[in-house]
């Protein structure tokens, strides 16, 4: 009788033998390849070394030979360095990988008009055949809203209706003062600051955003008292004392003039100074004879007013225009110790 189990065992042994033979053959092949490549490995390393180091070896060879060869080696080394530097500097930068973008579609919903809530106890419907006063047209409260028909307009009991009186709007709008400014004459764009210290008649220090900022006033020039390059000039101390009397520790308002720029060459902020009573300090100093009108480079905003104030002070011989003081000339009177 034929034994099927012996046949299966024989096939398993043959398959196992084939697998062993296959792995053995692959191992022998890898071993032969390694044996073949091992003698070539030193030559490969030497070739890679000479491929990288040939410029340096050539330079070394020429340098060691001396004479003309040394000059050739130096020239070749310099040229090689220049070429490599140019190649590095002119290499295009790698393209940055741009992040993926997503398109977002925003849908804005249009709000539907909502009727004004009215207490139910006071609401009645006006019949269409009852004569009544014409109902004013109610403007739409939202985009797409329509007017409500007169038959559906609720009316409120007379006791609950307050008559609204609309005051007529004036044609001219009164000037608005700066925030927290006590006087309407102060421009709306003026910046409120606190005076820290008065340097002289045309320069002060203020606290602005918790910083000590030097302010040089636009359009005026007072006699010098603190410039180390100049002696004290006529009426300079009087101008400084008057400025301290008006400004020391006070809250003032800075107005910047775009025509003059923000800072002068000494990094001082250029500004007009408005006092809390609505007077501009720059103009007051000129009008009372403590300062000259001063145009630095370009006309400024209040140039005409300042020139008029100077003409009036000169005509009345006020301050430094008086014959008993400076007679309009801020001459040097005392040397700075």
Report the DSSP beta bridge partners of residue 239: none
Cα torsion 128, 129, 130, 131 to 10°: value is 100
Catalytic residue, from 238, 268, 288, 298: name it: 268
The phi, psi pair for 282, rounded to 5°, reads: -55, -50
H-state helical runs in the chain: 4-37, 40-65, 68-89, 236-247, 281-287, 303-315
Catalytic residue, from 65, 224, 244, 311: name it: 224
| C-alpha–C-alpha distance, residues 195 and 205, integer Å | 6
| C-alpha–C-alpha distance, residues 7 and 62, integer Å | 80
Q: Is 65 part of the annotated catalytic residue set?
A: no
Strand extents, DSSP E, 243-286: 251-255, 269-274
51, 71, 77, 163, 320 from 61: Cα distances, Å: 16, 12, 12, 110, 88
30, 54, 56, 69 from 64: Cα distances, Å: 46, 15, 12, 8
- Say how many C-beta atoms besides its own lie within 10 A of residue 325's C-beta: 16
| C-alpha–C-alpha distance, residues 264 and 200, integer Å | 17
Cα torsion 108, 113, 117, 118 to 10°: value is 170
Q: In sequence order, what are the residues at sequence separation of 6 or more whose Cβ sits closer than 8 angstroms to the Cβ of residue 237?
A: 225
Q: In sequence order, what are the residues at sequence separation of 6 or more whose Cβ sits closer than 8 angstroms to the Cβ of residue 153?
A: 126, 135, 138
Q: Is 293 part of the annotated catalytic residue set?
A: no
The phi, psi pair for 119, rounded to 5°, reads: -55, 135
Catalytic residue, from 32, 70, 102, 216: name it: 216
Q: Is 311 part of the annotated catalytic residue set?
A: no
Distance, CA of 7 to chain centre: 91
Q: What is the sign of the dihedral through the CA atoms of 170, 175, 178 and 181?
A: negative
- Catalogue the active-site residues: 216, 224, 268
């Amino acid at each position: 009788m034929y034994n099927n189990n012996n046949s299966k065992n024989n096939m398993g042994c043959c398959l196992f033998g084939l697998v062993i033979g296959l792995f053995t053959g692959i191992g022998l092949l890898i071993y032969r390849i390694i044996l073949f490549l091992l003698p070539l490995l030193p030559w490969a390393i030497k070739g890679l070394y000479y491929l990288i180091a040939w410029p340096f070896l050539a330079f070394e060879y020429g340098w060691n030979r001396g004479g003309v060869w040394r000059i050739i080696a130096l020239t070749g080394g310099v040229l090689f360095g220049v070429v490599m530097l140019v190649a590095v500097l002119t290499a295009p930068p790698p393209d940055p990988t741009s992040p993926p973008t997503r398109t977002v579609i925003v849908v804005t919903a249009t709000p539907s008009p909502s009727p004004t809530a009215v207490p139910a106890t006071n609401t009645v419907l006006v019949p269409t055949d009852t004569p009544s006063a014409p109902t004013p047209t109610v403007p739409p409260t939202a985009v797409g809203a329509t007017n409500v028909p007169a038959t559906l307009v609720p009316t409120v009991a007379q006791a609950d209706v307050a008559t609204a009186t609309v005051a007529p709007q004036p044609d001219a709008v009164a000037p608005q003062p700066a925030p927290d400014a006590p006087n309407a004459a102060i421009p709306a764009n003026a910046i409120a600051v606190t005076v820290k210290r008065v340097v002289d008649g045309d320069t002060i220090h203020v606290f602005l955003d918790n910083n000590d900022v030097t302010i040089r006033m636009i359009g005026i020039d007072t006699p010098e008292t603190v410039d180390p390059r100049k002696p004290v000039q006529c009426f300079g101390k009087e101008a400084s004392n008057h400025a301290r009397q008006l400004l020391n520790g006070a809250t003032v308002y800075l107005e910047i003039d775009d025509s003059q720029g923000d800072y002068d060459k000494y990094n001082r902020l250029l500004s007009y100074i408005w006092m809390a009573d609505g007077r501009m300090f720059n103009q007051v100093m000129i009008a009372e004879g403590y300062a000259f009108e001063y145009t630095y480079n370009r006309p400024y905003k209040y140039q005409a007013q300042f020139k008029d104030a100077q003409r009036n002070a000169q005509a009345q011989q006020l301050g430094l225009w008086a014959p008993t003081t400076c007679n309009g000339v801020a001459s040097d009177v005392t040397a700075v110790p």
